[in-house]
Chains A and B, each alone.
Chain A
Amino acid sequence: MSDAVAYYVITLLVYMGCNVMFVLGLNLQFGLANIINFSYYILVAVGGYFAGLVVLGPPQPVESGGTEYLFGWTLPWPLPVAVAGLAGAVLALLVGIIAVRRLRSDYLAVATLVVGDVAWLLTGNTTSVVNGWNGLTGIPQPLADTLNLPQLQYQWVYLGIVLGFALLSFLIMQRLTHSPFGRSLRAIRENEYTAAACGKDVFRLRMTAMVIGGAIAAVGGALFIEFIGTVQPSMWNVPETFVIFAALIVGGRGNNWGAVLGAILVPVGFLEGSRLLPQDWIDPNLIDPLRWIIIGSVLILVLYFRPQGIFPEPKRRFRKILRQLAVDEGPGRQIHRRTEELP
């Protein structure tokens, strides 16, 4: 394939890998634990910012055309990614302790939305922390110097790294989801009082989901920003969070395969794919608003006709264990197979 096409494919796949991580993180927080964090994307942004802040060199003085930001420690890879993950985990923990503990779901949605917006405004208006609205730029790509490869080769390597992290996130999520821990989360989601009456420490379990989800999102954010090279407030606000929610809802809430599919369809397939539209098809000014109109409409339609998503949460049948126990499920077997859906 030609170089231009190769670059495009790599870009698309990197976007996909990172978005898969974003949606998986949300699946843990929202799909399983039912925590409505309407500023979810800030966890992604925090990951990106922290990675950038520690990998960049010290800030140049403003007078000579530099920018203002904190840290600037020039840490070698993979430390920035680790720092990012930690930052995401800590922020998620803070949000959890302050908000999730006290607020019911609709208040929580509003509260997180507001906090997110405030954080966005403050980040933009304060230049000393992360250079305000202009953000951080010139973030070097990891290992570029050590590997010393030609540009295109390097991009393939980086793609491999991203996909590796995405795969790791998926495996972690699968393990968590299909374990008693995941079951306890779902029980809390269904009825937290009954779950507490069964001895589940609701707060601790939800915080764990919050923190791990935050870490995954932040690591994805770090990988994303290290690829793009820049991070600014215009890249992360409520619409971005909305897209990730839409991806999860369309793909299938509570289902990790659904999360992956949603990530491929919505942020990548749709948003990025619409860049491919030939210029003379539609007036380019219309493309952006049209995108959002379509996403909004698709989400409303999905919520109405298939709220469980394309890949709904699977029914747990304990097949393997029941077979091992050589259980006779009896003549009733035929009956329960037909009654699948909730009315």
Chain B
Amino acid sequence: MTDDLALRVTGVSRSFGGLHAVAGCSFTVRRGTITGLIGPNGAGKSTMLNLLAGALQPDEGSIRFFGGEIARLPSFQIARLGMARTFQLSSEFARMTVLENLMVAPLNQRGDSVWAALLGPRIWKREEREHVASAWSLLQRFNLVHLAHEYAGNLSGGQKRLLELARALHMKPRLLLLDEPMAGVNPALISQLTDYIAALKGEGLTVVMVEHEMGTVERLCDPVIVMAQGRVLAEGSMAEIRANEAVVTAYLSGQRV
């Protein structure tokens, strides 16, 4: 079946001890959209994101990524299939430079194999040059060029966010999972980040974004999936979600939509 669907999640459940973090979730993500994943605290959004990325394995259910089943694959294999994810907390390679951080990202680097490494630079030098070039243009795009040779650990919080996004993009993914990209970010940077993410849509990338910051969700996301207590409450545009009674109730006990 040809999939216009980047993701098809069916009946996915995951528990921790007695806690059902995610219980029988099903939803789809269409290719080329920026889909939001929202919900009050404890809804299971982070767990869902980690299940999608392979950081956690579901207890049951299926996750199809562009038609292929990925539910029980380890995270590195899912990454290789074209799913890039960002992390909320500091996840940069601290003692490597910003440019090097980006250079880790590209998939299928020839020089990654130990044999290629032993046989010498001649085998992988050309590919390396191409990657440096593409990394450099990403740095220019995100205005990080002046920090190219700075240790990533020395960057400010906001700069690390930009680096995180650039790193994920350098993987040339088909789908980008963003884990609360605006969390703890100052308002000026929020609008900048929002612009960057909006631009991605035009490039044919599919984005799934877990986010609390409603302004961002409104500006960027269509459609939006609402989770609460481990289940999917509703899927649709922001307007439709707002009108949904169940959603409103769920949020009244949490934050405002």
A contact patch SS:
helix
Chain A residue at smallest Cβ distance from B55 = A193
* CB neighbours of B95 from chain A (8 A): 186, 190, 313, 342
Q: In the complex, which residues of chain A have a beta carbon less than 8 angstroms from the beta carbon of B99?
A: 316, 318
Q: Are B75 and A197 in contact (CB under 8 A)?
A: yes
Among B91, B103, B145, B167, the residue within 8 A (CB) of A193 is B91
- Beyond A181-B112, A198-B167, A342-B95, whether A335 also contacts B146 by CB under 8 A is yes
Does the CB pair A330–B146 fall under 8 Å? Answer: yes
Cβ of B121 < 8 Å from any Cβ of A? yes
The answer to whether A198 and B111 touch across the interface, beta carbons within 8 angstroms, is: no
Interface residue? A241 (CB, 8 A): no
Are B80 and A332 touching (Cβ within 8 A)? no
Chain A residue contacts of B96, Cβ below 8 A: 183, 186-187, 190, 316
A195 at the B interface (CB under 8 A): yes
Query: Which residues of chain B from 34 to 77 have any CB-CB distance to chain A below 8 Å in the complex?
Result: 53, 55, 74-76
Q: How many residues of B contact A (CB 8 A)?
A: 52
A1 and B10 CA atoms in complex are apart in Å by: 81
Interface segment, one of B21-29, B148-156, B211-219, B234-242:
B148-156
Establish whether residues B116 and A179, one from each chain, have CB atoms under 8 Å apart when the complex forms: yes
Complex Cα distance, B84 from A181, in Å, reads 20
Chain A contact patch, size range: 35 or more
Q: Are B114 and A181 within 8 A (Cβ)? A: yes
Considering only residues 92-142 of chain B, those with a C-beta below 8 Å from chain A are: 92-97, 99-100, 103-105, 107-114, 116-118, 120-121, 124, 128-129, 132-133, 136
Query: Is the pair B116, A332 in contact by a Cβ cutoff of 8 Å?
Result: no
**A197-B53, A197-B87 known; A176 vs B117 contact (CB < 8 Å):** yes
Please determine whether A342 and B104 come into contact, CB atoms closer than 8 angstroms: no
Docked Cα-Cα span, A201 to B113, in Å, equals 11
Cross-chain contact B111 with A196 (CB below 8 angstroms): no
Contact B145 A175 (CB under 8 A): no
The 8 A CB mask of A195-218 against B (1 = contact, 0 = none) is 111111110000010001000000
The answer to whether A212 and B114 touch (CB under 8 A), given A186-B96, A197-B75, A336-B147, is yes
In the assembled complex, A327 has its CB within 8 A of some CB on chain B = yes
Q: Is A184 an interface residue (CB 8 A)?
A: yes
Q: Which of B76, B85, B136 contacts A201 (CB 8 A)?
A: B76
**Interface contact B104-A195, CB-CB below 8 Å:** yes
Given the complex, which residues of A lie within 8 Å of B150, measured CB to CB?
336, 339
Also in contact, A194 and B146, with CB within 8 A (given A172-B118, A342-B154):
no
Complex CA distance for A314 and B212, rounded to whole angstroms:
40
Instruction: Enumerate chain B residues within 8 angstroms of A178, measured Cβ to Cβ.
Output: 121
Which one of A198, A201, A315 contacts B104 once the chains associate, using CB atoms below 8 Å?
Answer: A198
A181: chain B residues at CB < 8 Å are 111-114, 116-117
Query: A254 CB to closest chain B CB, in angstroms?
Result: 9
> B171: CB under 8 A from chain A?
yes
Residues of B near A191 (CB, < 8 A) are 91-94
Contact of A329 with B by CB under 8 A: yes
B151 with A342: CB separation less than 8 A: yes
One of B108, B117, B149, B154 near A182 (C-beta < 8 A): B117
Instruction: Identify the closest chain A residue to B140 (Cβ).
Output: A330
Q: Is A180 an interface residue (CB 8 A)?
A: yes
A residues near B (Cβ < 8 Å) are: 172, 175-176, 178-184, 186-187, 190-191, 193-202, 208, 212, 313, 315-318, 321-322, 324-325, 327, 329-330, 332, 335-337, 339, 342-343
The 6 closest A-B pairs by CB, nearest first: A332-B146, A180-B111, A179-B117, A181-B117, A190-B93, A199-B79
What are 10 A-B pairs at a CB distance below 8 A? A175-B117, A181-B113, A190-B92, A191-B93, A194-B92, A195-B104, A316-B100, A336-B147, A336-B148, A336-B150
